[in-house]
Structure 1
């Protein structure tokens, strides 16, 4: 069991990331920890692991958790053995076998005589049998690094497992292996991930947000159903509040008109009666005060409704606020865009693919390129886009406008500021305020406009890219997405999915995310 008791965390600059977090994870429970970028999911996982001290509160665990971090280059200085947390044991074992049977070595080994054998078996399970324990992680690919950390699970056989984006960099086969591991495990598991297939293997969801932790007693699909119900209720509340605001303004107008008519009739009667000027002034002042009182009462009412409406609108899902709005009139369904005839590539005089490739891509199709890591998916994309030429074979292309989106969103120029980047795509001569309205719609408010693009997260770069497309207004003949969900959280994947589903042109995707492929209605597979 793992228990968080009134946990809070604040950054060194005193900014509070989350506070008053209290929930329990039962023995053998498998929980998804989800939330938007910046909510503090990875920080909370590190607090659970005991690697970070909470500002307030306590974490109570029945045993020491095994923590798998989100793998980037920050571990390049480690050896494989150090990453697996077995370097000291392996060294002690080797020294004992060499005759150095000291109390220190025996204490470090702690009777774990099978550690080397178990470690080799665990690495072999992940296809890393030839990996030496002293090899540097800096020499490994992203997928290999991820597999090294996953191999630590059977080595340590922990009762509590904490996983931060464990499917990142894994190909489809390795993801299936990870899914089986989670299905069959009897450990308590907490997972931070944007992989919806993985999240559906877990039996509960905890959402970390502005209001703390909200728990849902089902898998990710169940969570989505509940969120849809909440969103529907919220949309109805917004609609009702908008109606109430219109009614309140109408009542205010009618009340003021009625008062003005009464005042006008009263004034005529007073003039006919020939009242003194001082009395006329007093009556006029009273009428003005009465009108002001009525206006004040109605202003307060409409102001309160407007405030409540703004609060509700801020709660609406961000994907519902972002629309690309392409002009699709230039796209021609069924037109042959690419014809590939018996192509291959030569690497060290060897062909990249066992058999030459031949296929067509027609306008309007949605296609995925699949294959194991190293099978040449990115190379095929470069051939299709004309960035490389095949040897042998030939490719004919009939696209006038293509868009290539890689997982680092290198379409965004890190040397530019956010507004400057948006301005680059202003082919239709929009006014400055119109560009800024579009930036704001994609959550780039005023404080972002002069911010360097280099400081943006993956999700922010993706949103800026979509915003730039709305500013250009031109629908590409072909959009190519290369592992587009790798560096995105669930919120930003939903935004990307919604935007892609508005697009009526041709889509070519390289992705291992089966859930994403299903959501964007991919209909054809080019398997390598």
Structure 2
């Protein structure tokens, strides 16, 4: 029987009663499926339902074939090794005893002499250079993700279930995962916001509050389809607005005709010659006709307005965010930052950065790249003053703002609006509201408490508060796209695209870097190349 996953009439709600799925029908065959959708829509929950970690509140999940699951985080015990992760520690110990001549005849008969080459092959496919006895606790987060992915490959499942497999990986690690998925010939369901990875899948399944929609082809084909949907939605809106205007015109014409008839009737009555009983009947018919026409016109108008509203809402869902920002006034010739002969680190005699020098002039857009452990976050700490250099100098020549993954400049207990007013004390209420609206925080949305925001909303709020009124000439971002959904990443890209100051970004997301118009790369060498 061919391997397959079938979800039938699935319903599931969060513990606080928020419904995620209602009568959801979805199936997967032996193809590579990218699962996309906004944060909180239920992508990870769907993987848990497929893997059997949770049960649906109604409906059925049928899986034909074996399933291997990669979760977003890999928790490890202090003594756990790669061999434990692969489930082969006992088998490897048997091989050691056999090599030492200490195995029994029965043990020798059951020994898997091809085991070690198979382990090495799986590790190599994820680009991880490590031995089976390596402690997982000694690996970086990115290396542990690769080890877990290698363990899945080793088990040869019919389906891979991957939850954000490229999060926390450096460029080398991301390329290894993308290469693996590109060559994977069994089934896979991949939750990811990594558009480069999604280019290697066979289909995109978009999950929304209304259900699931399947789009054949990779990410580029999906975007083309969405662009067509947006064009169709704009056409529907134009038609709906035209009908609304036409109904309003006809209703006004009917009112004017009825008024003209009523006026003519009053003039005839004034001249006399029409019996009183006929005048009464004419008046009653006129009032009835006028009332019927008014009710019919109102029903048509309400229906047209509802169609217009629905068409406009669909456009707001499909249309990418477009942002306009005040200029920073940064001259192209101004030196923004000078790093001269800097050496720094956290432990004595273990420098993370050695003798680093560079200048930043004018509105450059710089990507700080390098393998995990090469000192990217350390460099940002030096620039922002959180860390002092052991040797050399760091000189920031202009105002700046720093946005990390947690957007630490925002007070989580305050509203977005109150954070904006605190960060921009010179801005009045109108400026505040206009700036927040540009980043889709309109009306009551601006009053949301920061601690209640999703990851994408949080970063968008940070950008709104930082760039909305008087943008600083230097903006520093540390892995801004981690844990964001694709719609949120697009919103961030739109905001940064409208920014005319200097941008320094740490990111392994090549699509993101390309979309924000990086003009220069600062490659930091060395460090832990495995993560």
The TM-score normalised by the length of structure 1 is 0.85
Deviations 1:93-129 (A, max 9, x none): 759959999x9xx9xx986676677557755765462
Q: Distance in 2 between matches of 1:386 and 1:13?
A: 42
| Farther off after superposition, 220-229 or 436-445 | 436-445
Measured after TM superposition, the shift of residue 277 of structure 1 is: 8.3
Alpha-carbon distance in 1 for matches of 2:320, 2:158: 43
**Structure 1 residues 83 and 235: alpha-carbon distance in aligned structure 2, compared to 1, 3 A threshold:** farther
Distance 2:150 2:50 in 1: 21
Distance 1:526 1:438 in 2: 33
Q: CA deviation at 1:76?
A: 5.0
In structure 2, the CA distance between the partners of 1:420 and 1:353, relative to structure 1 (3 Å rule), is closer
How far off is 1:5 after superposition? Answer: 3.8
Tell whether the 8 Å contact from 2:29 to 2:187 is kept in structure 1 after alignment: yes
Name the counterpart of 1:498. 494
> C-alpha separation between the residues in 1 aligned to 2:466 and 2:351?
38
Q: Which residue of 2 aligns with 1:230?
A: 229
Q: Cα–Cα, structure 1 residues 283 and 94, in superposed 2: closer, same or farther, change >3 Å?
A: same
Gaps of 5+ in 1: none
2:508 corresponding residue in structure 1: 512
CA contact (8 A) 2:335 2:361 kept: yes
Q: Distance in 1 between matches of 2:143 and 2:298?
A: 64
User: What secondary structure does 1:372 align onto?
Assistant: coil
Aligned match of 2:183: 184
Q: Does 1:17 align with 2:11?
A: no
Report if aligned partners of 1:21, 1:212 keep a CA contact under 8 Å in 2: yes
SS of residue matched to 2:196 = helix
TM-score by length of 2: 0.84
RMSD, aligned α-carbons: 3.6
2:405 touches 2:459 (CA, 8 Å); kept in 1? no
Q: Which residue matches 1:442? A: 440
2:260 equivalent to 1:264: no
- Map Cα deviations across residues 412-431 of structure 1 (whole Å, 9 max, x no partner): 22222445334435642115
Matched with 2:324 is: 325
Q: Which residue of 1 aligns with 2:528?
A: none
Q: Spell out, residue by residue over 1:128-153, the C-alpha distance to the aligned partner (whole angstroms, 9 max, x if none).
A: 626756x565x754323312311212
Displacement of 1:377 in angstroms is 1.0
CA distance in 1, matches of 2:83, 2:420: 42
What's the counterpart of residue 63 of structure 1? 65
Query: Residue 297 of structure 2 corresponds to which residue in structure 1?
Result: 298
**Runs (5+) with no aligned partner, structure 2:** 525-531
CA distance in 1, matches of 2:136, 2:195: 32
The answer on whether the counterparts of 1:80 and 1:148 sit within 8 Å (CA) in structure 2 is no
User: Does the alignment pair 1:337 with 2:339?
Assistant: no
- 1:423, 1:435 within 8 Å by CA — same for their partners in 2? no
Given that residues 406 and 481 in structure 1 are in contact (C-alpha distance below 8 angstroms), is that contact kept between their aligned partners in structure 2? yes
SS of corresponding position for 1:37: coil
| SS of aligned partner of 1:414 | coil
Give distance in 2, aligned partners of 1:20 and 1:5. 9
Moved more, 166-175 or 270-279: 270-279
The 5 A counterparts of 1:115-134 are 119=119, 122=122, 126-127=127-128, 129=130, 132=133
User: Are 1:324 and 1:466, in contact at CA under 8 Å, matched by a contact in 2?
Assistant: no
- In structure 2, which of residues 401, 404, 407 is the aligned counterpart of residue 406 of structure 1? 404
Is contact 1:327–1:475 with CA below 8 Å preserved after alignment? yes
Indicate the larger mover: 32-41 or 319-328: 319-328
* Contact 2:6–2:26 (CA under 8 A) maintained in structure 1: yes
Deviations 1:376-401 (A, max 9, x none): 1122223333444434333433323x
What CA distance in whole angstroms lies between the structure 2 residues aligned with 1:422 and 1:76?
41
The aligned counterpart of 2:450 is 453
Provide closer, same or farther for how the CA distance between residues 349 and 437 of structure 1 changes in structure 2, counting only shifts above 3 A: closer
| In structure 2, C-alpha distance between the alignment counterparts of 1:86 and 1:130, rounded to whole Å | 12
Counterpart in the other structure of 1:385:
384
Kept in 2: contact 1:324–1:467 (CA 8 A): no
Equivalence for 1:255 = 254
Structure 1 residues 113 and 483, CA gap change in structure 2 (3 angstroms): same
Could you tell me how far apart the structure 1 residues matched to 2:81 and 2:482 are?
A: 27
SS of the residue 2:315 aligns to: coil
Q: Is the 8 A contact 1:4 1:57 kept in 2?
A: no
Q: Are 2:481 and 1:485 aligned?
A: yes
Q: CA deviation at 1:53?
A: 2.0
SS at match of 2:429: coil
| Contact 2:420–2:465 (CA under 8 A) maintained in structure 1 | yes
